[in-house]
Structure 1
Amino acid sequence: MYSKFSLPLYARAVFDSISSFNKASWTAMISGYARNGFKNEALKLFREAPKRDLFAWTALISGFVQSGNGVDALHLFVKMLREEVEILDPLVLSSVVGACANCALWELGKQVHCLVIGLGFESCVFVSNALVDMYAKCSDLDAAKGVFFGMWRKDVVSWTSIIVGSAQHGRAEEALALYDSMVLAGVKPNEVTFVGLIYACSHAGLVGKGRKLFRSMVEDHGIRPSLQHYTCLLDLLSRSGHLEEAENLVRAMPITPDEPTWAALLSACKHHGNAKMAIRIADHLLSLKPEEPSSYILLSNVYAGAGMWENVSKVRKMMMVMEVKKQPGYSCIELGKESYVFYAGETSHPMKDEIAALMRKLDEEMRKRGYVPDTSSVLHDMDQQEKERQLFWHSERLALAYGLLKSVPGTIIRIIKNLRVCGDCHTVLKLISTITSRDIYVRDTTRYHHFKEGKCSCNDFW
């Protein structure tokens, strides 16, 4: 109880008061430490446990996954296998699959899937649900559908996982068709199902359908809308150009809108060229003293576009006063059984010369096709040439060049980025998908982007 209320120190006080320990008390305390981010304490208690059986390993690994320490959880799982701990219960497998999903480790996820089949747990619903979610988050929607349609029994999590996965990858029609099948199967949707459905409508511009689903969620299913539901509806309205209705929604909704909500509305105003409304929203967002660097970049671009240079200066001063520092950008690419991380501006990679040569070759070809670098996301005070150089070394470009050099020709390139893809890199990735005839999947903090033949699944709105 104390652990679930994020009070592991209270939990430990109760644990220390126990006169006769049993398996349940040890696993509960190990889990309590692990799930609340007390990594060292969890490991220490695990080593001291009188018996390190499957349940103790599961408590530790699952707790690490829940606290966001997925990589550590995966290392522990490998260690558990090496110690030949017999897997008689599939819970640890679902946790490991979840870690692969969160870290977007597609190859490792496939290996765990093979282990699931080998151990005979493929008929376990919660393990199959985790596999559907993992493949979707690793941008392999066909594999996710393969697992889903192979399940002999499907619950609300099964249906929701495939619906949300389809929506995130821009397959709106599939998501909506799956929802109809879900209703026909007699499965009652939950709040997460509707997040995916409204998100799907947003990608397809189905404003009427999205409004209808939002009403149905409340009136037919008795689900109280959360901030995430309102944000999805806002995304639907603003993406489709219904800016006034979107602003009215933000100001009228019963939940206080957060910084990302206002930033999303401002981005939509900028995208649709509504300068008057953009300035009004920008002034309000600025008054909130935002914390995200991306919000300041957006504000600076809106004010600069309106020629309001005093406000641009004010934004930059606020960044300095509040010590807003842009998180270092990095991108991860997985090739075979290995994954590689590239940081923005990195010049220490063993293949840096080959990567730079390919990037220059691609840059030359892009410029022939009319590419002009968009340096609006570079807020540093430097000349145009230096700004272009900064863009040239963005992490997703380094990862992509490496992928083109090392991967099998014709295969999909999958990249994970820790920040939002900037507008210039988005244009570059579209062009490179055409030049190289390669499909490029990029998962950033905002969207799943599928670049193919010069187009992106997000329809240039993210």
Structure 2
Amino acid sequence: MYAKCGLPDIGRVLFDSISSKNSISWTAMISGYAQSGRKLDAIQLFQKMPVKNLLSWTALISGLVQSGNWVDSFYLFMEMRSKGIDIADPFILSSIIGASANLAVLGLGKQIHCLVILLGYESSLFVSNALVDMYAKCSDVLAAIKIFGRMVQRDIVSWTSIIVGTAQHGLAEEALSLYNRMLSTGLKPNEVTFVGLIYACSHVGLVSKGRYFFKSMIKDYGINPSLQHYTCLLDLLSRSGHLEEAENLIKAMPFKPDEATWAALLSACNHHRNTLIGIRVADHLLSLKPEDPSTYILLSNIYASAAMWESVSKVRRLMAAMEVKKEPGYSCIVLGKESQVFLAGETSHPAKDEIFGLLKELDAEMKRSSVLHDLEQQEKERHLFWHSERLAVAYGLLKGIPGMVLHIVKNLRVCGDCHTVLKFISIIVKREIVVRDANRYHHFKDGKCSCNNFW
């Protein structure tokens, strides 16, 4: 109780006062530390535990997964396996599958899936739910759909996981069809289901449908919209150019909009070149004294586009005073057992000459198009060549198995130029490229992207 209320130290005082501790006492304290993000305390206490069983290992590993310590949870899981602990309950498997999903490492997820089959737990409802979520988050949405299709028993988590998964991959029609199938089974949607539905509408521009789901959630199911629902609807309106309606929604919603909410609207104003609303939103956002470095970059761009140079100078002075630095972009690609991380502008990689050579060859194929603009042509080409996602794609083409799908994870949003270039590359090399960026998943194939440019 104390740990779940954010007071694990008081929980530890009580734990220490127990004169005769049993496995439940130890497990409760270990779990409390792990779920509170106190990794070292959890591991140290676990090491002191006299007799460790599957329950105590599960408490530690699942707690670390919940608190975001995914890599550590894998090392502990491997240690548990090496000690021959019998997995008599599949809950620990669903936890470690969740770690694979959050790390977006498909290879690890597949290995755990093999173990699930080996141990005979594929029919477990919560293990299958975890597998659907994992494959969707690891960019293999077809595998997620296949597992969902094989499930004998499904609950609201099963349906919501596949609806959200297909929505994230741009399969909006599939997501909406799954929702109708779910309703036909008699199941009622929950809060998360509607997040996925509105999200699906957002990424293909189905404005009327998104408004319908938002109203249906309240009217038909009595669900009070959370900040996340309002944010999804705001995202839908903003992306589709309904900026005035989006601004009115922010002012009317029963939650105090945070910096990220205003920044999302400002980004849409910038994208749709609506200077009038953009300046109004920028002035309000600046008064909130934002903390995110990317917000200041966005503010500077908005003011610069309106030739408000005094405001640009003010933003840059604030950035200098706060020592604001833009988060460096990086992309990770996994090829079999090997993973490579590329930083934007990285020129120290051992294969840099090969990578640059391939990018130059690909660029020559694209010269007829006007994908590079704004900056002075040569400078722009030099600058864009070193964007991290391009480096990762080139490395994958050079070192990966011919014909394999390239899976890349990027920490920031894919820029417009790289988005266009990756579509061209998918045609030239006849290869599917999947990029999971900060916003969504992009499946580049045959010169098209699954996002339909709604990202």
Common fold, TM-score beyond 0.5? Answer: yes
**Is the deviation greater in 236-245 or in 56-65?**
236-245
> Using the alignment, how far apart are the partners of 1:161 and 1:40 within structure 2?
32
Q: Which residue of 2 aligns with 1:431?
A: 424
Aligned-partner residue type, residue 429 of structure 1: L
Count of paired positions: 455
Partner deviation per Cα, 1:71-127 (whole Å, 9 max, x = no partner): 111111112111111111111100110000000010110111111111011111111
CA contact (8 A) 2:279 2:302 kept: yes
**Is the deviation greater in 180-189 or in 421-430?**
421-430
Q: Which residue of 1 aligns with 2:391?
A: 398
**Is the deviation greater in 396-405 or in 336-345?**
336-345
Q: Which residue of 1 aligns with 2:216?
A: 216
Which residue of the other structure, out of 423, 434, 437, is the alignment partner of 1:441?
A: 434
Per the TM alignment, residue 444 of structure 1 is displaced from its structure 2 partner at its CA by 1.5
How is 1:362-441 mapped onto 2 (pairs within 5 angstroms)?
Answer: 362-372=362-372, 389-441=382-434
> Using the alignment, how far apart are the partners of 1:311 and 1:428 within structure 2?
33
**Is the deviation greater in 322-331 or in 157-166?**
322-331
> Using the alignment, how far apart are the partners of 1:70 and 1:24 within structure 2?
24
Give identity over the alignment, percent. Answer: 68
> Using the alignment, how far apart are the partners of 1:164 and 1:134 within structure 2?
12
Per the TM alignment, residue 408 of structure 1 is displaced from its structure 2 partner at its CA by 1.9
Aligned-partner residue type, residue 217 of structure 2: M
CA contact (8 A) 2:372 2:381 kept: no
User: Where do 5+ consecutive residues of structure 2 fail to align?
Assistant: none
Q: Which residue of 2 aligns with 1:380?
A: none
Q: Which residue of 1 aligns with 2:158?
A: 158
1:450 counterpart = 2:443: yes
Measured on the aligned residues, the alpha-carbon RMSD in Å equals 1.7
**Is the deviation greater in 108-117 or in 362-371?**
362-371
Q: Which residue of 1 aligns with 2:196?
A: 196
SS of equivalent to 1:446: coil
1:239 counterpart = 2:239: yes
User: Where do 5+ consecutive residues of structure 1 fail to align?
Assistant: 376-382
CA contact (8 A) 1:108 1:337 kept: no
Q: Which residue of 2 aligns with 1:101?
A: 101
Partner deviation per Cα, 1:316-350 (whole Å, 9 max, x = no partner): 22111122222232211111133222222333333
SS of equivalent to 2:367: helix
> Using the alignment, how far apart are the partners of 1:318 and 1:392 within structure 2?
31
CA contact (8 A) 1:100 1:109 kept: yes
CA contact (8 A) 1:374 1:423 kept: no
CA contact (8 A) 1:373 1:388 kept: no
Per the TM alignment, residue 216 of structure 1 is displaced from its structure 2 partner at its CA by 1.1
CA contact (8 A) 2:269 2:275 kept: yes
How is 1:262-411 mapped onto 2 (pairs within 5 angstroms)?
Answer: 262-372=262-372, 389-411=382-404
Partner deviation per Cα, 1:193-235 (whole Å, 9 max, x = no partner): 0000011112232222211111111111111111110011111
Q: Which residue of 2 aligns with 1:379?
A: none
Partner deviation per Cα, 1:207-266 (whole Å, 9 max, x = no partner): 222111111111111111111100111111222222211111111111111112111112
1:39 counterpart = 2:39: yes
> Using the alignment, how far apart are the partners of 2:454 and 2:263 within structure 1?
13
Q: TM-score, normalised by structure 2?
A: 0.96
Aligned-partner residue type, residue 77 of structure 2: F
CA contact (8 A) 1:105 1:334 kept: yes
Check 1:435–1:239 CA distance in 2 against 1; reply closer, same or farther (3 A cut).
same
> Using the alignment, how far apart are the partners of 2:7 and 2:47 within structure 1?
22
**Is the deviation greater in 196-205 or in 94-103?**
196-205
SS of equivalent to 2:395: helix
1:78 counterpart = 2:71: no
> Using the alignment, how far apart are the partners of 1:421 and 1:460 within structure 2?
11
Q: Which residue of 2 aligns with 1:378?
A: none
